[in-house]
Amino acid sequence: MSLLGKFQAFADLRDELLSHGTLPFGVVTEKILSPTEGIVHGRKTILAGTNNYLGLTFDADAVKAGQRALAEEGTGTTGSRMANGTYAGHLALEKEIAEFFNRRHALVFTTGFSATMGMVCALAGRDDVLLIDADCHASIYDGCRLSGAEILRFRHNDVADLEKRLRRLGERAANTLVVTEGLYSMLGDQAPLEAMVEVKDRYGACLLLDEAHSMGVFGNRGRGLAEALDVEDEVDFVVGTFSKSLGSIGGFCVSNRPELELSRFAARSYIFTASPTPSIVASTRVTLQRVAEGQELRAQLWENSRRLYAGLTEAGFRLGPEPGPVVAVFVDCQETAIAWWHDLLENGVYVNLVMPPATPSTSCLLRCSISAAHTPEQVGHIVDRFAALLAEPQATGAAVTKAG
């Protein structure tokens, strides 16, 4: 095979997807109307696949703060944090996010991907072990590969398998970084965090927790699953993103360990990347405060999540294990999944089509992410359009997607 020959497989996949109509990946939203609606293919469409969990992308104060920073500080920093790219706003955001998480130290990155990847690389090296949940995000896997550490996987959310692998490491457990996520982005399942921190403490390992999808969603203050389960003191490092509940873009790591500050000299994705733009920093500082005060938003998010989960269950679909802001519908047949995705879009509902190997099983997923900003009528329409799929002729032969 020639150097570029490998791309033929991608071309074949693209052509197959296009044969069904619109390419499901990279759908163009022609106009954003609100946190929950946009114009897609000239039609008003409910956006139910955006991870905009608290609906803060149009927060008026955040928009004004971003506009003000844009006018006063320009469009970009044109440099990394290690060079000219540290502005007063970056330091203020780090201080505020550390205070939000009740931690002593915080590091802000340009994206969530670079935060997770960079911290995994910085914390683990050639003589260390990375023990990661098998279903961890691609950014974690990339960080593992770049670190040079020995990489071990434990079965997804399986505490017994985690303990078995730590026990086998013996003295090397003290040189092990355990990596897991709070809320998993594909199925919406939660880590058994209480049991995990007990095991890692017993063997003397460190724990890095990715709260990308759980920040803003769990906990009285919205700090994530660790807060909700009252195990924050046992989590050594927390990484996350601004691109979900905070409605912007960027990433962070917080910790009480002084080594986090020293990571400024070790995390390559921090050292060699241009720093976040002033407008992004300014708007993120506002939405961070909204998350801290967002008990009503979280309550509405969970009400919408339970309504969607219950409606799709009643319609007969097989879903992820529990209600939450991510509601995944299993579809065992790829052709059916593609057809259903197109049907939903044509009827004004955008969700994510996820196919193996991106899914944690051999099934495809129609992945919904719900928001506090969705109205009861919008949630009802989503349920109705899904229910209509099973009543249409194309559903024949796809009964395996139904519950039970």
For residue range 259-314, list pLDDT tens digits in order: 999 999 999 999 999 999 999 999 999 999 999 999 999 999 999 999 999 999 99
* Residue 394 confidence (pLDDT): 56
Domain boundaries, the chain: 7-54+295-401, 59-292
pLDDT over 70 (residue 70): yes
- The proportion of the chain whose per-residue pLDDT surpasses 90, expressed as a percent, equals 89
* Residue 358 confidence (pLDDT): 77
- CATH 3.90.1150.10 holds for 7-54+295-401: yes
- The proportion of the chain whose per-residue pLDDT surpasses 70, expressed as a percent, equals 97
Question: What does the pLDDT average to over 83-107?
Answer: 98
Question: What does the pLDDT average to over 157-171?
Answer: 97
Which single residue is written with the structure tokens 């955001």?
Answer: 93
The answer to whether 89 and 242 are in contact (CB under 8 A) is no
Selection from 189, 261, 222, 228 nearest residue 372 by Cα: 222
pLDDT band for position 392 (50/70/90)? confident
Average pLDDT of the residues of the chain: 94
pLDDT over 90 (residue 25): no
DSSP-derived pairing of the beta strands 237-241 and 176-181: unpaired
pLDDT over 70 (residue 403): no
- CATH 3.40.640.10 holds for 59-292: yes
DSSP string, 15-46: HHHHTTSS-SSS---SEEEETTEEEETTEEEE
What is the token pair recorded at 176?
């092990």
